[in-house]
Structure formats: C-alpha cells, structure tokens
A = this chain, B = another copy of it.
Amino acid sequence: MKMMIPIIIFMISCLLFSFSSSQPSMFDFCVADHTLPFGPAGYSCKNPLMVNVNDFSSSGILNAPNTDNIYKAGLSTAFVDAIPGLNGLGISLARVDVQPGGVVPLHTHPDATEVITMLRGNLTVGFISSNNTVYVKSIGTGDVFVIPRGLLHFQVNSGINLSVELSAFSSSNPNTQIVDEALFKSNLATKIITATTFINPIEVLRLKLLFKGSG
C-alpha cells in the first residue's frame, strides 16, 4: 500500500483556490496503470504525476506484421496495452496486412465498430446484418469502409498484391472473435459443433486438425 501514498498526497485538494494557483489535471485523461485493478470501464489510472508524453504514443504500427500463417494475414496493434493513454477513451488502431490469396477470416468484434482505410492494394470486404443481408464491396487504396459493431465480417485479398489497411476501432481494447478459431482451435466438442452449425463431423474434424483444436 506504500505506493498509494504519493497518490493520496497528490489528491489532497482544497475547497477554495484562486485561478492563479496550479491545479492537478485529474481527469483530463486516465493513463492505464497495469499494476492496479481494472474494472468494467477500463484500467485504473496511473498517478498523473508519473504520466509523460510517451504514455500517449507508440511506434511501429506501420511496420509490416508477420503474415506467415494460415490466413496469410497479420496485424500490428495500437491498443491500450501498447498506448496506456488510450485507457477510457474508446478508440484504438491496427494495421492489417493480407497477402495475395489471404483472408481476414470471418469474425466479429464483440463490442467495437471498425472503420477501415485502405492504404495499399485491394480487398473484398463485407459484413452481414442480422437479417442475413450481405453488404460486400471491393475497395482499393483510399477507400474507407465501416463495419458496425458486433456484426460478422471478413476481408479477402483476391488480387496479386499485398493489401494494407489501417483500421480504427471504437474501443480502446477491441477483442476479435474469429469464428473458425472459436470452433476449431478451442476444445469445443465435435458433437456440439456439428449440432449447432450443421457442418458435417468429417469436415469438423478436418478443420480441427487444421486449426489444432481438441475436443
């Protein structure tokens, strides 16, 4: 509890102060302190006296991510863990690369809208609404595309060049739920998968092998 003491001292405030005195900027921002508890609204705030400009910055988001995987795709993120100053502000970024023939597989962000800007190359991008309407479009450099929060979506690079997009998310820590990984990389029982997706069990087993799932 010793580390609390500077915070407490810092927090001492007084009812009366003049405009010309200095006041602490308690709630201009809430830089994440990963050593303290976190709650439904995000991480606890770092002592404001310990905050510096680097808490609001990161580098490397435009470095090409590793795409050496089954999807031929990869991402570099600037979420709250990389930039603690994003805590509580409801926004973050990622670069997503897709090699020719690669995909961002069918997935959702359970609590975030995504806005894609194509920086390079071409992609077929689409989302599906809950009444099974497909909104799909081929986009190229300089196009922007919005995927409303929570909906199933995907990207396919059917071109011959690497595609590079910058995605903005309406969450400082957007989770990604990839349908295939949820089903076939987890330990979900084949029997349940077959029952709840109607995919035949042989195909389920093939996909479990591919994604290294168990169950």
Contacts and interface: CB of A to CB of B under 8 A. Distances in A.
Interface string A109-125: 11101010111000010
A132 B28 contact: no
Interface string A168-186: 1111010111111111011
Contact of A142 (B13, B22, B60, B110): B60
Contacts of A74: 16, 18-19
Interface in A47-93: 52-54, 56-63, 65-71, 73-79, 81-83, 85-93
Contact of A29 (B76, B148, B183, B185): B148
Contacts of A78: 15, 115, 117, 144
Given A111-B150, A131-B24, A68 B18 contact: yes
A180 to B, nearest CB: 6
Nearest to A52: B135
B150 A108 contact: yes
B52 A44 contact: no
Given A93-B115, A113-B89, A58 B17 contact: no
Contacts of A88: 39-41
A106 B177 CA distance: 13
